[in-house]
Protein backbone atom coordinates (compact mmCIF):
# COMPACT_ATOMS: atom_id res chain seq x y z
CA UNK A 1 0.00 0.00 0.00
CA UNK A 2 1.26 3.43 -0.92
CA UNK A 3 -1.50 5.56 0.59
CA UNK A 4 -4.23 4.66 3.09
CA UNK A 5 -7.09 5.66 0.79
CA UNK A 6 -9.53 3.49 -1.13
CA UNK A 7 -8.68 2.68 -4.75
CA UNK A 8 -11.63 3.69 -6.92
CA UNK A 9 -9.95 3.25 -10.30
CA UNK A 10 -7.40 0.87 -11.80
CA UNK A 11 -4.97 1.07 -14.71
CA UNK A 12 -2.42 -1.38 -16.02
CA UNK A 13 1.14 -0.44 -15.16
CA UNK A 14 3.40 0.17 -18.13
CA UNK A 15 6.94 1.36 -18.67
CA UNK A 16 8.21 3.88 -21.17
CA UNK A 17 7.54 2.72 -24.72
CA UNK A 18 4.61 0.42 -23.86
CA UNK A 19 1.35 1.62 -25.46
CA UNK A 20 -1.70 0.29 -23.62
CA UNK A 21 -3.95 1.16 -26.59
CA UNK A 22 -1.97 -1.34 -28.73
CA UNK A 23 -3.12 -4.29 -26.61
CA UNK A 24 -5.92 -6.58 -27.75
CA UNK A 25 -8.48 -8.10 -25.36
CA UNK A 26 -6.77 -10.52 -23.01
CA UNK A 27 -3.29 -9.11 -23.68
CA UNK A 28 -1.21 -7.31 -21.09
CA UNK A 29 2.17 -5.87 -20.31
CA UNK A 30 3.79 -7.50 -17.32
CA UNK A 31 7.04 -8.30 -15.67
CA UNK A 32 8.99 -11.51 -15.92
CA UNK A 33 9.34 -13.72 -12.88
CA UNK A 34 12.18 -16.17 -12.37
CA UNK A 35 12.76 -18.44 -9.38
CA UNK A 36 9.07 -18.01 -8.47
CA UNK A 37 9.65 -14.65 -6.79
CA UNK A 38 8.44 -11.22 -7.89
CA UNK A 39 9.10 -7.79 -6.43
CA UNK A 40 8.15 -4.13 -6.37
CA UNK A 41 10.71 -1.35 -6.35
CA UNK A 42 10.99 2.13 -7.75
CA UNK A 43 12.84 2.38 -11.05
CA UNK A 44 15.32 4.68 -9.28
CA UNK A 45 16.26 1.75 -7.04
CA UNK A 46 17.21 -0.59 -9.86
CA UNK A 47 20.97 -0.16 -9.40
CA UNK A 48 20.70 -0.18 -5.58
CA UNK A 49 20.95 -3.96 -5.27
CA UNK A 50 24.40 -5.00 -6.45
CA UNK A 51 25.04 -8.72 -6.67
CA UNK A 52 21.43 -9.61 -7.57
CA UNK A 53 22.57 -11.37 -10.75
CA UNK A 54 25.30 -13.25 -8.86
CA UNK A 55 23.19 -14.65 -5.98
CA UNK A 56 24.90 -12.20 -3.63
CA UNK A 57 24.18 -8.89 -1.89
CA UNK A 58 21.29 -7.42 0.11
CA UNK A 59 18.55 -8.94 -2.06
CA UNK A 60 19.78 -12.49 -1.55
CA UNK A 61 20.48 -11.91 2.15
CA UNK A 62 16.84 -10.86 2.65
CA UNK A 63 15.55 -13.80 0.61
CA UNK A 64 17.74 -16.27 2.50
CA UNK A 65 16.34 -14.98 5.81
CA UNK A 66 12.84 -16.27 4.90
CA UNK A 67 12.51 -19.60 6.69
CA UNK A 68 9.13 -21.20 5.93
CA UNK A 69 5.91 -20.42 4.14
CA UNK A 70 5.32 -17.95 1.37
CA UNK A 71 8.29 -15.74 0.70
CA UNK A 72 7.48 -12.18 1.66
CA UNK A 73 10.43 -9.96 2.47
CA UNK A 74 11.93 -6.49 2.37
CA UNK A 75 15.44 -5.91 1.10
CA UNK A 76 17.29 -2.71 1.88
CA UNK A 77 19.63 -1.62 -0.89
CA UNK A 78 22.17 1.12 -1.32
CA UNK A 79 21.07 4.74 -1.03
CA UNK A 80 18.16 3.94 1.30
CA UNK A 81 16.12 2.14 -1.37
CA UNK A 82 13.80 -0.71 -0.40
CA UNK A 83 12.52 -3.64 -2.44
CA UNK A 84 9.42 -5.66 -1.49
CA UNK A 85 9.65 -9.29 -2.63
CA UNK A 86 7.05 -12.06 -2.63
CA UNK A 87 6.18 -15.52 -3.91
CA UNK A 88 4.64 -15.30 -7.37
CA UNK A 89 1.54 -17.48 -7.27
CA UNK A 90 2.03 -20.19 -9.89
CA UNK A 91 5.76 -19.47 -10.24
CA UNK A 92 7.75 -18.33 -13.23
CA UNK A 93 6.04 -16.42 -16.02
CA UNK A 94 4.90 -12.95 -16.99
CA UNK A 95 2.35 -11.14 -14.83
CA UNK A 96 0.57 -7.77 -15.11
CA UNK A 97 0.60 -5.15 -12.38
CA UNK A 98 -2.29 -2.78 -11.77
CA UNK A 99 -2.09 0.72 -10.29
CA UNK A 100 -4.91 1.65 -7.92
CA UNK A 101 -5.86 5.34 -7.75
CA UNK A 102 -8.04 7.13 -5.20
CA UNK A 103 -10.82 9.64 -5.93
CA UNK A 104 -8.22 12.42 -6.29
CA UNK A 105 -6.22 10.41 -8.86
CA UNK A 106 -3.33 9.73 -6.47
CA UNK A 107 -1.64 6.32 -6.48
CA UNK A 108 -2.87 4.29 -3.52
CA UNK A 109 -1.47 0.80 -4.26
CA UNK A 110 0.05 -1.63 -6.75
CA UNK A 111 -1.30 -5.15 -7.27
CA UNK A 112 0.21 -7.89 -9.42
CA UNK A 113 -2.23 -10.45 -10.79
CA UNK A 114 -0.59 -13.87 -10.51
CA UNK A 115 -3.69 -15.54 -12.00
CA UNK A 116 -4.27 -17.64 -8.88
CA UNK A 117 -7.91 -16.58 -8.43
CA UNK A 118 -10.06 -17.07 -11.54
CA UNK A 119 -12.04 -14.06 -12.76
CA UNK A 120 -15.75 -13.97 -11.94
CA UNK A 121 -17.94 -15.84 -14.39
CA UNK A 122 -18.91 -13.71 -17.36
CA UNK A 123 -15.83 -11.46 -17.16
CA UNK A 124 -12.56 -11.62 -19.01
CA UNK A 125 -9.17 -11.95 -17.37
Question: What tens digit of pLDDT does each residue of 7-57 get?
Answer: 999 999 999 999 999 999 989 999 998 778 888 888 888 788 877 777 777
pTM, 2 dp? 0.77
Q: Is 21 helix (H, G, I), strand (E, B) or coil?
A: helix
Please report the DSSP string for 38-96 in residue order. EEE--GGGGGGSTTGGGT-SHHHHHHHT--SSS-EEEEE-GGG-EEEEEE-TTSSEEE-
Give the model's pLDDT for residue 19.
97
Give the model's pLDDT for residue 2.
85
Share of the chain above pLDDT 70, in %: 94
Question: Edge-to-edge, what's the strand order for the sheet holding 37-40?
Answer: 37-40, 82-87, 72-76
pLDDT digits (tens, 9 = 90+) for 62-118: 877 776 666 788 888 888 898 888 888 778 899 999 999 999 999 999 999 998 888
- Reference 91, options 112, 114, 70, 69; nearest CA is 114
Amino acid sequence: MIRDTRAVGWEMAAVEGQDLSALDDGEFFGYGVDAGTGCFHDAAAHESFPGAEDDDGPLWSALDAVVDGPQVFLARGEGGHTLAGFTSGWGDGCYPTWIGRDADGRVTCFVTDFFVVPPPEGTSA
